[in-house]
Amino acid sequence: YLDLTYSSYSSLERSIKQISEELKDKAKTQKGIVYQNHRINNQLQNIQKQATSMIHIYKDEGGIFENEIKDIAQDSNLQRAIASFDDELRELKRYQVEREEMGGDITFNPMMDVTSLLDMGEDMTKQAKKTQQFVNDPISERQEQRECMLPTIIKEQSQKPIPFSGEERYGRFLDMHSFHHEAINLELISSNADYTSFLRTFADTHRIPTELKTDNYQAYLTKVRVYLEEFYKRTQPLGDQLKKQEELVHRTFDQDFREGKLPGWDFIPAAIERVEAREGKKKKRRRRKRKRAEVFTKVDVAREVALNEALLRSYAKTLFDELIERTCRETERKQTRTYEEIQAELERDKAMVAKEASEAARRAKEASSKAAVNDNPLNIPVGIDGRRMPYWLFKHNQYGVEFKCEICGNFSYWGPKAFNRHFQEGRHAHGMRCLRIPNTTHFHGVTKIEEALKLWRTISAKTKNKDWDTNLEEMEDDEGNVYSKDTFMDLKNQGII
């Protein structure tokens, strides 16, 4: 349970950090805004999930958490705690190897003990062997696969694409064309009614005659209500106005329905009174009972239809009023535009989405680079396999010691080996040629420009008018071989190097 508590705290910190990163860079396009809100909502749900798990752990109804602390606190039980930990770790490693070989995955429950976790994994292994659904993960994904297997780490699910139709444009407009055609087929509106007039009046259900409110009408009404609710959840995952409107309608619906205050249902009180009046009669008991059940069944059906209508009116007037008007304006604007103009606008939207995606990728790359730098504060060299050099070898070779060379433009060399080698490299040789000084062994170890000039004047004074021995000047080829200047030039002229 101590490991689970640590895992929950770590997951909470990661979710909070990711939310803060999302809030720093506000999305600009409609698609970016919707997807960003869903990512934030997923992190908030993970925070609630981890907090709930921590509450169960701290309640410690079975006393397991308290026993773990006591075992660690008491020296007499320390060996037993270590042995138990080693056994569980050994089982987890065995299970991890099995899962890596077949490429499977599980969803970990923080309240599940290790035995249950292993049993569930074995069952999934048997099922996978039956269906022969094996996936060989590439080497680059193995690290993520290993983290998914450990019980102290919760896997963060990748974001799935959010379904939107072409007309909806990622939540900018409504797409109710199918409901428009269905309303015409049910004769709820005139066959000449256009799409914009339907959008402005589809919530005015009190205008529909009662005889048209059949089972097909009830199914149509339910589909429209569900569409609006799902549309709100897709476009505004962080909003809570939908739930508030639903609670507000339910709070006053029963009383308004019985009193006939709902539009189009003013006859309900009289129908209920007739049924209740029959209850006082004692004659024809069986017939009365059958008739009362039939009437009340019709009232219950009417109540369900009236509830859907009330919810639909509430949604249209409070949550979707601006969106409905925006959709109507867009529909009227499309009717005045050519096909080429519409396609050009769609291409502009795609270009904006692509630009925002590229910027997001760039920011993610910068963040990963920054994280990589922070993850390696000692700047330990990394091999071609992606692994760092052992720290003892890093200290032994003094790779943490910095040497600067002023002749090379204040370039830094890390470690004595790289520093000594750079005197025969092209950067240092170029700096010496700029100073009009031959790059000979006399200047090995000299990094200051002033010291190099002073040493050159001293050597020139001693040699006086003697010719300078060019063999003392050394040159290096591409393979790192060092030659005297004359030998190097001869080999270069012959094309050997």
d(CA 344, CA 338): 10
d(CA 56, CA 8): 12
Indicate if the alpha-carbon torsion angle 464, 467, 472, 473 is positive or negative.
positive
Instruction: Supply the mean pLDDT for the chain.
Output: 77
Q: What percent of the chain has pLDDT over 90?
A: 22
- pLDDT value, residue 56: 80
Q: How confident is the model at residue 141 (pLDDT cuts 50, 70, 90)?
A: very low
d(CA 468, CA 449): 21
pTM of the model: 0.56
pLDDT digits (tens, 9 = 90+) for 410-456: 999 988 988 999 998 889 999 998 998 888 888 888 999 999 999 88
127 or 302, which is more confident: 302
d(CA 232, CA 37): 12
Residue with tokens 């002229």: 493
Residue 101 predicted with pLDDT over 70: no
d(CA 383, CA 149): 27
C-alpha pair distances (Å), 7 with each of 11, 71, 146, 403: 6, 20, 15, 43
- pLDDT value, residue 30: 84
- pLDDT value, residue 468: 55
Q: Which two tokens stand for residue 308?
A: 């859907």
Q: Cα torsion at 339, 343, 346, 350 (round to 10°)?
A: 170
- pLDDT value, residue 135: 35
Helices 78-102 & 114-131 angle (0-180, nearest 10): 10
228: closest CA among 280, 282, 281, 174? 174
pLDDT digits (tens, 9 = 90+) for 295-352: 456 778 888 999 999 999 999 999 999 999 999 998 988 888 888 888 888 888 788 7
CB 319 within 8 A of CB 232: yes
Residue 330 phi/psi, 5-degree rounding, is -65, -40
Residue 217 predicted with pLDDT over 90: yes
d(CA 38, CA 160): 10
478 or 297, which is more confident: 478
- pLDDT value, residue 224: 94
The number of C-alpha atoms within 13 Å of 482 and in the hemisphere containing its C-beta is 14
81 or 263, which is more confident: 263
Residue 258 predicted with pLDDT over 80: yes
